[in-house]
Structure 1
Amino acid sequence: MSFSFFKPSRPKTPLEVVKTTKDSLMALDTKTVVEVKALEKALEEVEKNFATMRCMLSGDGEVEPNPEQVSQLASEVCKEDVLALLIHKLPILGWEARKDLVHCWSILLKQKIGSTHCCVQYIENHFELLDFLVVCYDNKEVAVNCGNMLRECIKFPTLAKLEKSTDMIVVWVLVVLVFDACYELLTRHETVVSEYLTGHYDEFFDVYEKLLTSPNYVTRRQSLKLLSDFLLESPNSHIMKRYISEVRYLKVMMTLLKDSSKNIQISAFHIFKVFVANPNKPREVKVILARNHEKLLELLQNLSAGKGADDEQFEEEKELIIAEIERVSRLPNLDS
């Protein structure tokens, strides 16, 4: 004769997981905010629910996730506005809960209902949520979490269309730069960004100049390398032509040619040479090159290719640029 004292609990359905998660997140709005013990208990409940959601979305290591349940959970998260709660409650969650949230976020964004990424569409319709994530990025406690969540967002072209918020592209560049994801935004979505920059050229490059002249070495180097790659992408040819016609940006590159870092000098040279080689250089650019030709020639003559670089090609390019600077310096009437 056998006795069964404990009945195994029935696994929750996606609807139940979403409901309990929503209830626990909303509970953080009530008296728990001022009652420490109650707050701790409420945060524990949120953490438990996030763990359940994570298990349903990605499996438990032994049992694979059920695609139908994953799809239903994503649908319910949007329908019940839980996606908004996940973002708004992020700053007060514990470390473990935040980790599970970021994991779930990545999976939820990829889910489709029919041909539509339902969570991506939800964010499109509530774009202020991304503004909130950017603002929260200033909070050191959750900066990494916010950065990772934004990084997942920019994988989707509709969320990379930053014209929905005039200043967002500037902030996003700053954010994703820290996570080495600038290429995701500026090179994966070339057409989207090109369209944006056509209408927001000045405000973007005003801030990008601050990155290029940052006192932080990593920021200078990464932003310079990204700019070099970005300007040479074919969808951005009209942006490049405009950029290399502006004296202020020529001066930035000339300054970076004098940087204490050899790597930055080399990267700056590859953009500087486009200014010089431009067959349609504006008069203002010619004037700057002529006035500074002696210092520029000295800098270039002392510049050598980095390790692993093609020394022969580099030297050939350098000689061509030197010759062009010398030619410009001999042009008449540039001082008048």
Structure 2
Amino acid sequence: MSFSFFKILRPKTPPEVAKSIKDSLMALDTKTVVEALEEVEKNFVTMRCMLSGDGESEPNVDQVSQLVEEVCKGDIIALIIHKLPVLGWEARKDLIHCWSILLKQKVDSKYCCVEYIEQHPELLDFLVVCFNCNHAADASGDVGIAMLALHSYDNKEIALNCGIMLRECIKFPALAKYLLESPSFELFFKFVELPNFDVASDAFSTFKDLLTKHGKLVSEFLADHYSEFFDLYEKILTSTNYVTRRQSLKILSEFLLEAPNSPIMKRYIQEVRHLKVMMTLLKFIQNAHLTHTTMSLAFEIIVLFMLSRHPMYVFVANPNKPRDVKFILTKNREKLLELLHNLSPGKGSEDEQFEEEKEFIIQEIERVSANHSLSCSLERIIIDDPPDVLSNPIATELRIDVT
């Protein structure tokens, strides 16, 4: 008599798990969607248990390494990314959990999955700009950016998943370098202004990581693409969206004041057009009719403007100010000093460094004003109430008279 039904199922080996994952992902093109997605979900659960343990036992290191190697050898990384938009919520959740482990796992002292993506960089572009759920299944492994009509960040269902996966990739310099230099990088200047708050915030997080994770790499990128980058950045600094302005200011402060970006910062503060943008934003805060909630956020922006974590401080503290910068500071002396004298670190808080830096800025503005000749023939920039604060930040918020 056979008692085969009492047999304990033998756990799958790493090659078997990898093959099952690949077969189930490829079956998404042939089977009914429901049946195929169920298979994918089961296989992703198995992969998750093998990579991170089942809660009762720790993962087997040799099995983890073998599975990672098989995932790369079988081109499963490419399949996972291309099929991401059509996966169900549970499958995507398990995939996101596994993604970081796959990237960080070394095989023979090499990051196997990272090297695979380096050899197939179009996968990074696919995470940034990919087809929506209805078209993702038709995507091939060599999708060009020009062919990608719909953006992953426009798809609310998968945008956050793509963001997490991209940020894990950005931790590795080679992948971050590719993203910075890829045409798809410019799309982040649009994604941060998307109407969905969660999606825009996630795009900002990815954008921030790209500009702050690898200082030397970013410095080289900015040196090579200075004009193009800051032309695009000025657009989000002067966006009609308050949150976009606020977040872009914070990120600008962070990466400009990184030590490797010192040459970039010095070049930035030598250009009067950037100071004009800062003055425009200061005036917006001063003139806008803000609600109580917005006012508290506006205070943070003012602090960022005037203290050491913001470029405005750098403009004022720069010992080698260009003549144009001195002129602007002088012409706006009264408005700036009024704003500074009324500035405090916040309700119920005391900050000695805040007061010291504020006093330094006040003294520096007064010194520049006293020494600078007002007879120079330059642009006259005055902070006045604009007719429409949001209509055109550069043209209407600043009254520019050329003498």
TM-score by length of 2: 0.75
Q: Out of 320-329 and 194-203, give the one that drifted further.
A: 320-329
How far apart, CA to CA, are the structure 2 residues paired with 1:202 and 1:177?
24
What's 2:238 paired with?
Answer: 213
How far apart, CA to CA, are the structure 2 residues paired with 1:164 and 1:328?
39
How far apart, CA to CA, are the structure 1 residues paired with 2:178 and 2:270?
26
Q: How does 1:154-193 map to 2 (within 5 A)?
A: 154-162=170-178, 165-171=181-187, 178-179=201-202, 180=205, 184-193=209-218
What's 1:6 paired with?
Answer: 6
What's 1:23 paired with?
Answer: 23
- Structure 1, unaligned runs of 5 or more: 33-37
- Structure 2, unaligned runs of 5 or more: 130-151, 193-198, 286-294, 379-403
What's 1:139 paired with?
Answer: 155
**Paired letter, 2:279:** M
How far apart, CA to CA, are the structure 2 residues paired with 1:143 and 1:46?
20
Q: Out of 58-67 and 244-253, give the one that drifted further.
A: 244-253
Q: 1:243 to 1:24 in 2, by over 3 A?
A: same
What's 1:121 paired with?
Answer: 115
Residue aligned with 1:64, SS: coil
How far apart, CA to CA, are the structure 2 residues paired with 1:133 and 1:39?
22
Paired residues of 1:250 and 1:285 also in contact (CA < 8 A): yes
**Paired letter, 2:301:** I
Q: How does 1:59-78 map to 2 (within 5 A)?
A: 59-78=53-72
How far apart, CA to CA, are the structure 2 residues paired with 1:167 and 1:111?
29
What's 1:326 paired with?
Answer: 366
TM-score by length of 1: 0.89
Deviations 1:105-164 (A, max 9, x none): 111001111121000011111111111111122211101110110111111112111367
Q: How does 1:1-336 map to 2 (within 5 A)?
A: 5-30=5-30, 32=31, 38-135=32-129, 136-162=152-178, 165-171=181-187, 178-179=201-202, 180=205, 184-258=209-283, 259=285, 260=295, 261-270=298-307, 271-306=311-346, 311-330=351-370, 331-332=372-373, 333-335=375-377
Q: 1:231 to 1:177 in 2, by over 3 A?
A: farther
How far apart, CA to CA, are the structure 1 residues paired with 2:33 and 2:127?
23
How far apart, CA to CA, are the structure 2 residues paired with 1:274 and 1:254?
13
Q: 1:285 to 1:163 in 2, by over 3 A?
A: farther
Shift in Å, 1:202: 2.1
**Paired letter, 1:295:** K
How far apart, CA to CA, are the structure 1 residues paired with 2:257 and 2:271?
17
RMSD between aligned alpha carbons?
A: 2.5
Q: What is the count of residue pairs matched by the alignment?
A: 330
Residue aligned with 1:137, SS: helix
Q: 1:120 to 1:228 in 2, by over 3 A?
A: same
What's 1:35 paired with?
Answer: none
Residue aligned with 2:234, SS: helix
**Paired letter, 1:153:** C
Shift in Å, 1:193: 1.1
Shift in Å, 1:217: 4.2
How far apart, CA to CA, are the structure 1 residues paired with 2:54 and 2:323?
66
Shift in Å, 1:304: 1.9
Residue aligned with 1:202, SS: helix
